């Protein structure tokens, strides 16, 4: 349940019960009943309604208690159910509302409830504008009118917050063998294949002859009928899917037995920041969870491709869980799932707001977006540096073959080969661009040659004439990743620029490659002379990139840079596949696009996440890693099911522990026997033998972790230092290699303030402070949850 989150906790229910019992009951001696909002914190209600419980004092009849909101009687919404007086209070006004419970001979009590619009925001701060609402059918761009996406809903948005009327549809699972588990309700003009496992269901028609049945993990056998609810929350379009009997009612206080009370929250991949409303990118038609009675949930603003503001993403998860609780019933636990950007969102939500997700299953793992951006920027700078005349002249003068040149690049980059940086450059190298741009892409994986594409685009998805241009439209909407989270990071005072967390001042690129002899002294010096950086508009510059200290502090304090300490409060099964190159053939004989590889989901990232937990907690006991590499980075159906069932058991154990033990200890204590580290060797054709010897796993080229440009520059595996502290350049750090006097002078010119001192914490680095409220800017600590009080 949402109110069980540490950051939502108020007075323990057990303590209240003891107090009420001790006070006796009835008459004038009856204590004031406690009022609790079950669907969210009392000060974080949205959409005008809330699931509320009134604790009945001992000896008092529930029917004697009257409940009102600001003098409006809402007692009829309440009934005694399973010994608890609960009801959904509707009609809450935006802003503060007062719920009062009282009765004859009972001391009255009240609770202040703060309600926000269903379109948000609550804690994420002012919403970015403009924002293009989805339409029933997608509309093309016309002049300065932007295109819109198909919503999958029949109604139009009703207001500027893109609120669209909620709709429900029913689907059933067919018994037809060999059916395809795909999304059965794609946005027109796309249509679901005739072989789809889920098909439209009409409650008014006779039951289809091929209607399957399923037995939930609670032992309830039902027709396999799914209710899919679609609507809008926080300007995102959501889907909620769950087993449902259309002939029976369902309320938050009396859910159908088809639901086991568990939620699988799906987070979408990639990363981006379009100024548009989308449908979720994933499929709610997840048989392994739906068939067992799980509710499957997604929202486009928790898809990283459509939203890279991690505070907004986390807020959206919070609001979605509130909607579920007050419409379907209280949640037993919430399990996350998602790859790549979906892993970022799971890890970051668990860092920003621990307890929001009870357990997560990141695949293609990255700890967070800020430190991933660090590698992207390094790769962009490196691929450009390798094409500059000074570097090319060195390669030519030395008479290196292309293979030898690429080996040097791999040594500097820290990757398996040069293609990983090519992939970062091509896929996400332009994500920080605030206006229109012509993408520069590596067009030859062998030579690293760069081609500029002929068509300009922008990250907002808006007409070119509308968006920011430093000369012709300086006040137009800015479209970079940091711009999408300007409400979180704030602006540099007196400017239009969001505070920047990117930095490479003091970074000695290729340091370890030089020390080990992988590159020469001249190559090392030339590289660092020519690497440069990026401006606030993400334009390549001869100068290094400089972060804003205030922006750095916010990234750490808010948990946007994922905190190992915060992650210890969440059960984690990390499914790590291989995607370290786009040219090396997999054991199955495929490489590059033929194998679906992107070259960016590197094995070392899972170890980076684990290192943060080890540093913060002295262990990573809540983190389990399952490695596989034979077929790439996407887990097989068998591995995904194994993870799902193991996490289900883990979270079931966790929720059974109602003790006052700290959550970090409870998570470890609840870990089932199946939750242990293992790998499937790439030589294992059936991927069925679990190898638990890490050394053996690490000998497999498709399992062992490589590295990154920052680690080759001397940085830590945790890669949680956005901006390093500096120290004087010391030639002893290069032993057994040496620089000439001239080369040393050139290095000192590159690093006049010194080089990175990786033995020290990063600039402004600090522990995450827990959930912060950005509604007033700057990120203020969230006060304790409101509790009711006698009047």
Q: How far apart are CA 282 and CA 287, in angstroms?
A: 14
Residues 598 and 452 in one domain: no
The tally of domains found in the chain comes to 3
Phi, psi of 663 (to 5 degrees): -60, -35
**Does a structural domain hold residue 712?**
no
The residues with which 113 forms a beta bridge, in sequence order, are 97
Helix 341-352 / helix 369-385 crossing angle, nearest 10 deg: 140
Instruction: Place 3 in a pLDDT band, splitting at 50, 70 and 90.
Output: very low
pLDDT higher than threshold 90 for residue 562: yes
Q: Residue 17 sits in which domain range?
A: 2-116
Q: Give pLDDT, residue 104.
A: 86
Residues 383 and 523 in one domain: yes
Residues 468 and 449 in one domain: yes
Q: Looking at residues 568-579, what average pLDDT do you find?
A: 98
Instruction: Place 7 in a pLDDT band, splitting at 50, 70 and 90.
Output: very low
Q: Give pLDDT, residue 277.
A: 98
Strand 79-81 and strand 50-54: pairing? unpaired
**Does a structural domain hold residue 142?**
no
Tracing tokens 């292309």 back to the chain, one arrives at 402
Residue among 446, 423, 382, 410 nearest 633 (CA)? 423
**Does a structural domain hold residue 668?**
yes
Tokens of 351: 């860092």
Please calculate the CA angle 561-678-638 and round it to the nearest 5 degrees.
95
Q: Give pLDDT, residue 593.
A: 82
Percent of the chain at pLDDT > 70 equals: 96
pLDDT higher than threshold 90 for residue 504: yes
Q: Give pLDDT, residue 492.
A: 98
Q: How far apart are CA 273 and CA 317, in angstroms?
A: 18
Task: Indicate which CATH number applies to the domain containing 71.
Answer: 2.60.40.10
Q: Looking at residues 656-670, what average pLDDT do you find?
A: 98
Of 116, 132, 158, the domain-final residue:
116
Residues 600 and 652 in one domain: yes
**Does a structural domain hold residue 686?**
yes
Instruction: Place 30 in a pLDDT band, splitting at 50, 70 and 90.
Output: confident
**Burial label, 742 (beta-carbon count in 10 A; 0-12, 13-18, 19+):** exposed
Cβ-count burial 521-531 (b if 16+ within 10 Å, e if not): bebbbbbbbbb
Instruction: Place 240 in a pLDDT band, splitting at 50, 70 and 90.
Output: very high
Residues 536 and 421 in one domain: yes
pLDDT in tens, 42-67: 999 999 999 999 999 988 999 999 99
Q: Output Rg (C-alpha) for the chain, integer angstroms.
A: 28
**Does a structural domain hold residue 460?**
yes
Residues 578 and 515 in one domain: no
Q: How far apart are CA 577 and CA 601, in angstroms?
A: 8
**Does a structural domain hold residue 429?**
yes
pLDDT higher than threshold 90 for residue 627: yes
Tell me how far apart the terminal alpha carbons of the chain are, to the nearest angstrom: 28
Q: Give pLDDT, residue 592.
A: 84
Q: Say if CB 737 and CB 526 are below 8 A apart.
A: no
Q: How confident is the prediction for the chain on average, in pLDDT?
A: 95
pLDDT in tens, 282-305: 999 999 999 999 999 999 999 999
pLDDT in tens, 518-527: 999 999 999 9
Residues 536 and 419 in one domain: yes
Residues 673 and 586 in one domain: yes
Residues 393 and 423 in one domain: yes
**Does a structural domain hold residue 630?**
yes
pLDDT higher than threshold 60 for residue 611: yes
Residue among 605, 677, 708, 704 nearest 364 (CA)? 605
Task: Name the DSSP class of 396.
Answer: H
Of 100, 116, 132, the domain-final residue:
116
**Does a structural domain hold residue 765?**
no
Q: Give pLDDT, residue 187.
A: 86
Q: Give pLDDT, residue 629.
A: 96
Q: Give pLDDT, residue 687.
A: 97
pLDDT in tens, 64-109: 999 999 999 999 999 998 899 999 999 999 999 999 999 988 899 9
Q: Looking at residues 14-23, what average pLDDT do you find?
A: 34
């Amino acid at each position: 349940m949402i109110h069980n989150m540490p950051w939502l906790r108020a007075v323990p229910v057990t303590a209240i019960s003891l107090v009420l019992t001790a006070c006796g009951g009835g008459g004038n001696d009856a204590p004031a009943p406690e009022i609790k909002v079950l669907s969210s914190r009392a000060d974080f209600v949205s959409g005008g309604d809330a699931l509320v419980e009134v604790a009945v004092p001992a000896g008092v009849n529930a029917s004697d208690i009257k409940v009102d909101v600001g003098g409006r009687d809402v007692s009829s919404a309440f009934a005694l159910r399973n010994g608890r007086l609960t009801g959904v209070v509707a009609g809450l006004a935006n802003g503060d509302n007062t719920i009062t419970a009282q009765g004859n001979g009972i001391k009255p009590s009240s609770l202040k409830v703060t309600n926000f619009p269903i379109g948000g925001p609550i804690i994420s701060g002012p919403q970015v504008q403009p924002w293009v609402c989805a339409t029933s059918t997608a509309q093309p761009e016309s002049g300065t009118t932007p295109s819109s996406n198909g919503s999958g809903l029949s109604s139009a948005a009703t207001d500027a917050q893109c609120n669209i009327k909620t709709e429900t549809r029913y689907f059933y699972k067919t018994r037809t063998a060999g059916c395809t588990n795909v999304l059965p309700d794609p946005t027109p003009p796309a249509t679901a294949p005739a072989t789809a496992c889920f098909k439209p269901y009409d409650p008014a028609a006779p039951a289809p002859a091929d209607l399957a049945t399923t037995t939930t993990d609670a032992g309830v056998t039902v027709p396999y009928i799914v209710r899919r609810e679609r609507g809008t929350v926080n300007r995102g379009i959501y889907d909620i899917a769950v087993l449902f009997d259309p002939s029976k009612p369902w309320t938050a206080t009396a859910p159908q037995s088809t639901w086991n009370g568990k939620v699988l929250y799906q987070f979408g991949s990639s990363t981006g920041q379009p100024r548009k409303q989308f449908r979720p990118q994933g499929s709610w038609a997840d048989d392994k969870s739906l068939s067992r009675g799980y509710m499957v949930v997604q929202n486009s603003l928790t898809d990283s491709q459509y939203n890279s503001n991690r505070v907004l993403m986390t807020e959206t998860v919070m609001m979605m869980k509130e909607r579920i609780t007050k419409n379907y019933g209280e949640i037993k636990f919430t399990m996350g799932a998602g790859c790549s950007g979906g892993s970022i969102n799971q890890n970051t939500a668990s860092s920003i707001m621990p307890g929001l997700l009870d357990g997560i299953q990141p695949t293609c793992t990255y700890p967070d977006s800020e430190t991933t951006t660090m590698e992207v920027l390094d790769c962009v700078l490196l691929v450009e540096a390798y094409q500059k005349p000074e570097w090319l002249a060195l390669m030519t003068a030395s008479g290196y073959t292309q293979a030898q040149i690429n080996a040097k690049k791999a040594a500097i980059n820290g990757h398996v080969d040069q293609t990983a940086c090519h992939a970062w450059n091509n896929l996400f190298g332009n994500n920080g661009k605030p206006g229109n741009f012509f993408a520069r892409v590596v067009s030859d994986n062998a030579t690293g040659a760069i081609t500029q594409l002929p068509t300009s685009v922008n990250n907002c998805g808006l007409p070119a004439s509308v968006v920011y241009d430093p000369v012709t439209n300086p006040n137009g909407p800015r479209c970079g990743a940091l711009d999408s989270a300007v409400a979180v990071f704030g602006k540099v005072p007196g400017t239009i620029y969001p505070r920047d967390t990117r930095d490479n001042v003091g970074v000695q690129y290729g340091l370890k490659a030089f020390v080990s002899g992988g590159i020469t002294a001249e190559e090392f010096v030339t590289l660092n002379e020519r690497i440069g950086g990026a401006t606030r508009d993400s334009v390549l510059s001869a100068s290094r990139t400089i972060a804003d200290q205030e922006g750095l502090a916010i990234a750490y304090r808010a948990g946007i840079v994922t905190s190992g300490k915060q992650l210890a409060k969440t059960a984690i099964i990390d499914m790590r596949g291989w995607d370290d190159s786009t040219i090396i053939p997999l054991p199955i004989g495929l490489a590059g696009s033929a194998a679906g590889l992107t070259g960016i989901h590197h094995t070392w990232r899972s170890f980076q996440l684990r290192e943060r937990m080890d540093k913060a907690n002295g262990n990573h006991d809540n983190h389990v890693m399952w490695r596989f590499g034979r077929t790439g980075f996407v887990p097989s159906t068998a591995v995904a099911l194994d993870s799902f069932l193991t996490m289900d058991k883990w979270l079931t154990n966790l929720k059974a522990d109602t003790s006052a033990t700290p959550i970090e200890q409870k998570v470890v204590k609840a870990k089932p026997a199946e939750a242990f580290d293992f790998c499937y060797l790439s030589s294992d054709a059936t991927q069925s033998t679990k190898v638990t010897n890490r050394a053996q796993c690490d000998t497999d080229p498709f399992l062992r972790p490589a590295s990154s440009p920052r680690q080759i520059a001397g940085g830590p595996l945790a890669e949680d230092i956005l901006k390093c502290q500096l120290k004087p350049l010391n030639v002893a750090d290069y032993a057994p290699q040496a620089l000439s006097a001239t080369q040393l002078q050139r290095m000192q010119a590159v690093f006049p303030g010194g080089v990175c001192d990786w033995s020290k914490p990063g600039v402004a680095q600090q522990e995450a402070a827990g959930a912060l409220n950005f509604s007033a800017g700057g990120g203020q600590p969230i006060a304790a949850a409101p509790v009711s009080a006698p009047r």
